[in-house]
Amino acid sequence: MTDHTDTVTANGQTGAPLWLLAELTYRCPLQCSYCSNPLDFAAVGEELTTAEWIDALAQARALGAVQLGFSGGEPLVRRDLETLVAETHRLGFYSNLITSGLGLDESRIEALREAGLDHIQISLQASDPDVAAAVAGSRKAHAKKLAMARAVKAAGYPMVLNVVLHRHNIDRLDAIIALCDELGADAVELANCQLYGWAYLNRAGLLPSRAQLEAAEATTRRWREHLAARGRDMRLLFVVPDYYADRPKACMGGWGSIFMTLAPDGAVLPCHSARMLPMRFPNVRERPLREAWYASEAFNRYRGEAWMSEPCRSCDERHRDVGGCRCQAYLLTGDPTATDPVCDLSPDHHLIEAARREAARDTRSAAELTPRNAHESRVFCRA
């Protein structure tokens, strides 16, 4: 199925998009204040139909994509999810469902398993329903998530949990890991909140302090030792927030390097946040994915290193981190070509320090942050 000629292009450098993130919808029953969806999601056009998704998936596979994540929003909102899973299985993708667990039940898990879904990852907000409700805007979600985590494991999948950490739940990490242990999790991703979309809007109210972060890292280390001593195989992955790093991440492995996102309306993006950048992205309704990936101005703009300015341009580390994240550079400086301010060599690094100071002054509770919601989103659409 894979056309290997696609792994080399005219310039002989661009490889295949190995990872495809299929954002099936921006609809979601939850209202997480750390959601990375675009602020103006309510302005995004009609979702791709089932037939359009099937065609796009086939195009992505022919380009060389092998790993596929179904996400959103909440992908379970799409009633055709099982059909799309069956298609990805037929095409030979390794598929992962990234879900809140809402919209799942035992029969749907079974249907997804029969359709050939390889992996399910469920997100948890907290160890207790009160904090979870304050963050996600639903009182019932927590119990449902726990039940679905158990059901996923009972269906024969590994239990892979994702917990987004921020200042309102990070102090309860001990209880969060204990809950994951009790549930029988096989792997837990403790991912400090990435500050894009709604999370960026709520940045000052989400960013933990350095002391909170260090305590959380110590808790994770302690749990790793404890689990090893018991012979319990539960992997803990701790993802440090960018705002406490001194070098940026090589975001998406490099712009247009190995990662492609298909947004609900067919926009083809190098990452899930890029649509807020001041540039035009191709749409699979108008242009084949092959062209979007190899030939579009948007995908080529920040490929390689030629676009870099100083200090990245002459930095020895540019091959490793490709100058960091374009979305983060734009959010913080207004210039998508700037060095990611996370880097302490960046002339804009003071913006990160200012953000940490601003967060230290913020006294809002989790319930006082702006929830991701369509009403506010429509305000951003007009802005």
Beta strands in the chain (DSSP E): 19-23, 67-71, 94-99, 119-124, 160-165, 187-192, 235-239, 259-262, 268-269
248 binds ligand SF4 (CB under 6 A): yes
Q: Which stretch binds ligand SF4 (CB under 6 A): 105-113, 130-138, 143-151, 314-322?
A: 314-322
Q: How many CB atoms sit inside 10 A of residue 313's CB?
A: 13
Nearest CB to ligand FES, comparing residues 84 and 271: 271
Q: Is 28 annotated as a binding residue?
A: yes
Q: Is the CB of residue 164 less than 8 Å from the CB of residue 121?
A: no
Whole-number minimum distance, CB 273 to ligand SF4, in Å?
18
253 binds ligand SF4 (CB under 6 A): no
| Residue from 196, 198, 180 nearest 188 by CA | 180
Whole-number minimum distance, CB 344 to ligand FES, in Å?
18
Q: Which stretch binds ligand SF4 (CB under 6 A): 200-208, 268-276, 281-289, 312-320?
A: 312-320
Task: Give 143's contacts (C-beta < 8 A, 6+ positions apart).
Answer: 129
Torsion angle of the four alpha carbons 335, 340, 345, 349, in this order, in degrees rounded to the nearest 10? 80
Can you give the binding site for ligand FES, defined by CB under 6 A?
251-252, 271, 273-274, 325-328
DSSP 8-state symbol, 160: E
Q: Is 381 annotated as a binding residue?
A: no
Sheet containing strand 19-23, strands side by side: 235-239, 187-192, 160-165, 119-124, 94-99, 67-71, 19-23, 259-262, 268-269
> Residue 268 corresponds to which tokens in the numbers above?
């083809």
Whole-number minimum distance, CB 228 to ligand FES, in Å?
34
349 binds, among ligand FES, ligand SF4, none (CB under 5 to 8 A by kind): none
336 binds ligand SF4 (CB under 6 A): no
Whole-number minimum distance, CB 269 to ligand FES, in Å?
8
248 binds, among ligand FES, ligand SF4, none (CB under 5 to 8 A by kind): ligand SF4
- Longest CA–CA separation in the chain, Å: 56
The whole-angstrom separation of Cα 14 and Cα 39 is 31
Kindly tell me which residue out of 340, 341, 369, 371 binds ligand SF4, with binding defined by CB under 6 A.
340
Kindly tell me which residue out of 155, 300, 311, 378 binds ligand SF4, with binding defined by CB under 6 A.
311
Cα separations in angstroms, 292 against 22, 60, 101, 270? 15, 11, 32, 10
DSSP 8-state symbol, 283: B
Residues in the chain, how many? 383
Q: Which stretch binds ligand SF4 (CB under 6 A): 21-29, 132-140, 268-276, 313-321?
A: 313-321
Whole-number minimum distance, CB 340 to ligand SF4, in Å?
5
Q: How many CB atoms sit inside 10 A of residue 140's CB?
A: 12
Kindly tell me which residue out of 85, 260, 343, 355 binds ligand SF4, with binding defined by CB under 6 A.
343
Q: Is 32 annotated as a binding residue?
A: yes
187 binds ligand SF4 (CB under 6 A): no
Whole-number minimum distance, CB 271 to ligand FES, in Å?
3
Kindly tell me which residue out of 153, 247, 287, 290 binds ligand SF4, with binding defined by CB under 6 A.
247
Nearest CB to ligand SF4, comparing residues 69 and 254: 254
Annotated binding-site residue numbers for [4Fe-4S] cluster: 28, 32, 35
Binding site for ligand SF4 (CB under 6 A): 247-248, 311-312, 315, 317-318, 321, 323-324, 339-340, 343, 345
